[in-house]
Amino acid sequence: MHTMKNQFDVEECLHQLAHYLPAQAPLKDFIHHNTLHSFQEFPFADAITRASDLFGYRVLLDLSTYRQYYLNGRIRHDVLRQVVERRKPAQYERWITAMLNQQFEPAAAPRIGQLRAGWKRYYKADIDAMVHPLLFRSICSYLDQGISIWRFPAQQCSFLKAIRLLEKNGVISFFRQKRARQLLLNGPCDINSLLQLLVGQQEWFTQYLFDQQFAHAGWSGMVAAVAQQPTGLLDQRSISLEELIRFELLLEIDALDELFGAQWPPLSQRLQQPPTALFDPVEASTLDEVLFMWQEAFEWSFYDQVLAGLQQEKPAAHNMPDRSFQALLCMDDRECSLRRYLENTDPACETFGTPGFFGVEFYYRPAHAKFNTKLCPAPVHPRHLIEASDAGPTHQKDAYFSKHAHSFHSGWLITQTLGLWSAFKLFINIFRPSVSPATALSFRHMQQHAHLSIESNGKQLDNLQVGFTIGEMADRVEAVLKSIGLVQHFAPLIYIVGHGASSANNPHYAAYDCGACSGRPGSVNARVFAHMANHQTVRKLLLTRGINIPPATHFIGALHDTTRDEILFYDEADLPAGLTQHHKLHGEVFAKALQLNAVERARRFESIKLQQLPNRIHAQVKRRSVSLFEPRPELNHATNAIAIVGRRQLTRSIFLDRRSFLNSYDYQVDPQGDYLYNILKAVAPVAGGINLEYYFSHTDNQKLGAGTKLPHNVMGLFGVANGIDGDLRPGLPAQMVEVHEPLRLLVVVERDAATVLQVIGRDEQTWEWFHRQWVHLVCIDPQSKALQWFDGNKFIPYTPLSGSIPVAKDLSKLLTKERGNLPVMLLDQNQL
Partner 1 sequence: MMEQVLSIFLLIPLLGYACSLVIKPRSENSISLLAAGTVTLQLVSGLVYVAVWLYKGRPMIDHKDIVIYKSAGYEFFLDLHFDSITAVYLLIGALLSTLVTIYSRYYMHREAGYKRFFNTLHFFLLGYMITIFSGNFETLFIGWEILGLASFLLIAFYRDRYLPVKNAVKVFSIYRIGDVGIILAMWMSHHLFAENITFLKLTNNELVHHQLLQHTGVGIFISLMLLLSAAAKSAQLPFTSWLPRAMEGPTPSSAIFYGSLSVHLGLFLMMRTYPLWQHQLSVRLLTAFMGMCTALVATGIARVQSSVKSQIAYASAAQIGIMFVEVAAGWQVLALIHFAGNAFLRTYQLLVSPSVVSYLIREQVYEYEPQQKSIEGYLPQKLQYALYLLCLKEWHLDSWGYKYAWNPLKWAGRQLNFLNLRRVLVFYTIAFSGGLLALRFSSSLPHTARYWWPVLLAFIGLLMVLKSFTERKKARMSWTLVAMNHTWIALAIAFNESVSVHQIAMYLSGVLVSWAIGFACLRRLKQLEGTVNLDQFHGYSWEHPKIAFVFLLACLGMAGFPISPTFIGEDLVFTHIHEDQPWLAGLTALSLIIDGLAIIRIYARIFLGPHAKSVYEMGYRNS
What residues between 509 and 538 interact with partner 1 by CB under 8 A?
Answer: 509
Q: Which is nearer to partner 1, 732 or 748 (CB)?
A: 732
**640: helix, strand or coil:** coil
Over 408-474, what HEC string results?
HHHHHHHHHCHHHHHHHHHHHHHHCCCCCCCCECHHHHCCCCCEECCECCCCEECCEEECECHHHHH
> What is d(CA 674, CA 212) in angstroms, rounded to the nearest whole number?
47
By beta-carbon proximity to partner 1, the closer residue of 128 and 572 is: 128
CA atoms within 13 A on the CB side of 112: 21
The rounded Cα 555 to chain-centroid distance in angstroms is 30
Which residue lies nearer to partner 1 by CB, 10 or 287? 287
Residue partners of 294: CB distance under 8 A and separation at least 6? 60, 61, 63, 66, 70, 75, 80, 99
In terms of DSSP bridges, do strands 787-790 and 776-780 run parallel, antiparallel, or are they unpaired?
antiparallel
Nearer CB in complex with partner 1: 77/137: 137
Region 479-508 residues binding partner 1, contact defined as CB under 8 A: 504-507
- Order of strands, edge to edge, in the sheet holding 554-561? 350-354, 325-330, 493-500, 554-561, 566-569
Judged by CB under 8 A, the chain residues 130 through 149 that form the site for partner 1 are: 132-134, 137-138, 140-141, 143-149
Alpha helices in 545-647 (DSSP H): 580-602, 614-626
By the rule CB under 8 A, 104 interacts with partner 1: no
Query: Which C-beta is closer to partner 1: that of 66 or that of 352?
Result: 66
Q: Which of 17, 96, 194, 217 binds partner 1 (CB under 8 A)?
A: 217
Minimal distance, residue 512 CB to partner 1, in Å: 11
Are 479 and 538 in contact by the 8 Å Cβ rule? The answer is no
Nearer to partner 1, 138 or 326 (CB): 138
Interface with partner 1, residue 729, by CB under 8 A: yes
- How many residues belong to the chain? 832
Q: Which of residues 659-718 bind partner 1 (CB under 8 A)?
A: 700, 702-703, 707-717
Cis peptide before 43 (omega within 30 of 0): no
How far apart are alpha carbons 533 and 527 in whole angstroms? 10
Write down the least CB distance from residue 726 to partner 1, Å: 6
Task: Give CA–CA dist 477/543, Å, rounded.
Answer: 12
In eight-state DSSP terms, residue 659 is -
Considering the rule CB under 8 A, would residue 566 count as an interface residue with partner 1?
no
Q: What one-character DSSP code corresponds to residue 333?
A: G
381 near partner 1 (CB under 8 A): no
Least Å from the CB of residue 728 to partner 1: 9
Q: Map the footprint of partner 1 across residues 396-435, applying CB under 8 A.
A: 397-398, 400-401, 405-408, 411-412, 414-423, 425-427, 430
Q: SS3 helix, strand, coil % of the chain, rounded to 5? A: 45, 10, 40
Taking CB under 8 A as the rule, does residue 27 contact partner 1?
yes
Q: Of 69-77, 370-378, 587-595, 805-813, which part binds partner 1 (CB under 8 A)?
A: 370-378
State the nearest-atom distance from the C-beta of 742 to partner 1, in Å: 15
Among 71, 109, 619, 754, binds partner 1 (CB under 8 A): 109
Nearer Cβ to partner 1, position 174 or 790? Answer: 174
543 sits near partner 1 (criterion: CB under 8 A): no
Comparing CB distances to partner 1, the nearer of 113 and 576 is: 113
Q: Which of residues 170-209 bind partner 1 (CB under 8 A)?
A: 170-174
Nearer to partner 1, 418 or 801 (CB): 418
**Contact flag: residue 726 with partner 1 (CB under 8 A):** yes
CB 428 → partner 1: shortest distance, Å?
10
Provide, rounded to whole angstroms, the least separation between the CB of residue 830 and partner 1. Answer: 39
Site for partner 1 in 632-651 (CB under 8 A): 632
Contacts with partner 1, 321-340, as mask; x by CB under 8 A: --------------------
**For partner 1, the closer CB: 152 or 790:** 152
The Cα 55–Cα 35 span in angstroms is 13
- The DSSP element (H or E) to which 605 belongs, if any, is none
* CB of residue 668 to partner 1, shortest distance in Å: 45
In the bound state with partner 1, the residue whose beta carbon lies nearer, of 92 and 629, is: 629
CA distance 254 to 329: 58
Q: What Cα–Cα distance (Å) separates residue 520 from each residue in 26, 322, 443, 823?
A: 14, 35, 11, 32
| 318 or 401: CB nearest partner 1 | 401
In angstroms, rounded to a whole number, what is the distance separating the alpha carbons of residues 256 and 253? Answer: 5
What SS3 class is residue 215? coil
The torsion angles phi and psi of 369, rounded to 5 degrees, stand at: -80, 160
Q: Which is nearer to partner 1, 71 or 428 (CB)?
A: 428
Q: Which is nearer to partner 1, 438 or 796 (CB)?
A: 438
Looking at the DSSP bridge assignments, the partners of residue 759 are: none
Per the CB < 8 A criterion, the answer to whether 318 and 814 are in contact is no
Nearer to partner 1 by Cβ, of 24 and 735: the residue is 735
Binding mask 62-101 for partner 1 (x = CB under 8 A): ----------------------------------------
Nearer to partner 1, 561 or 752 (CB): 561
If binding is defined by CB under 8 A, does position 800 make contact with partner 1? no
DSSP 806: P
Binding residue for partner 1 (CB under 8 A) from 46, 128, 572, 791?
A: 128
Return all residues near 443 (Cβ < 8 A) that are at least 6 apart: 500, 502, 521, 523, 559, 561, 566, 568
* 723 is an interface residue for partner 1 by CB under 8 A: yes
For residue 632, give the nearest of 732, 718, 517 by alpha carbon.
Answer: 732
Binding test (CB under 8 A) with partner 1, winner from 63, 100, 157, 166? 166
Nearest approach in angstroms of CB 718 to partner 1 is 8
780, β-bridge pairs? 750, 787
Q: Rounded to the nearest whole angstrom, what is the least distance from the CB of residue 136 to partner 1 in the complex?
A: 8
Residue 649 CA to residue 317 CA, distance in Å, equals: 9
Q: Residue 348 or 413: which CB sits closer to partner 1?
A: 413
Greatest Cα-to-Cα distance within the chain, rounded to the nearest angstrom: 88
Residue 352 CA to residue 486 CA, distance in Å, equals 8
Q: CA–CA separation, 748 vs 654, rounded Å?
A: 14
The nearest distance, CB 47 to partner 1, in angstroms, is 17
Kindly indicate which of the ranges 79-87, 150-158, 309-317, 811-819 contains the residues binding partner 1, using the contact rule CB under 8 A. 150-158
- Give the angle subtended at the CA of 432 by the CAs of 426 and 437, to the nearest 5°: 65
Taking the least distance from each CB to partner 1, the nearer of 281 and 408 is 408
Which one of 166-174, 202-210, 294-302, 377-385 is the stretch in contact with partner 1 (CB under 8 A)?
A: 166-174
If binding is defined by CB under 8 A, does position 156 make contact with partner 1?
Answer: yes
Q: Least distance in Å: CB of 694 to partner 1?
A: 17
Query: Binding of partner 1 at residue 629 (CB under 8 A)?
Result: yes
Beta bridge partners of 325: 493
Please give the Cα distance from 78 to 85 (Å, whole number).
10
**Footprint (CB under 8 A) of partner 1, residues 228-287:** 234-235
Instruction: Tell me the number of residues near partner 1 by CB under 8 A.
Output: 120
- Verify binding: residue 317, partner 1, rule CB under 8 A: no
Residues 612, 213: Cα–Cα separation, whole Å: 52
Supply the minimum distance, in Å, between the C-beta of residue 328 and partner 1: 28
Determine, following the binding rule CB under 8 A, whether residue 439 of this chain makes contact with partner 1.
Answer: yes
Whole-angstrom distance, CA of residue 234 vs CA of residue 226: 11
Q: Which of 390, 606, 818, 828 binds partner 1 (CB under 8 A)?
A: 606
3-class SS at 546? coil
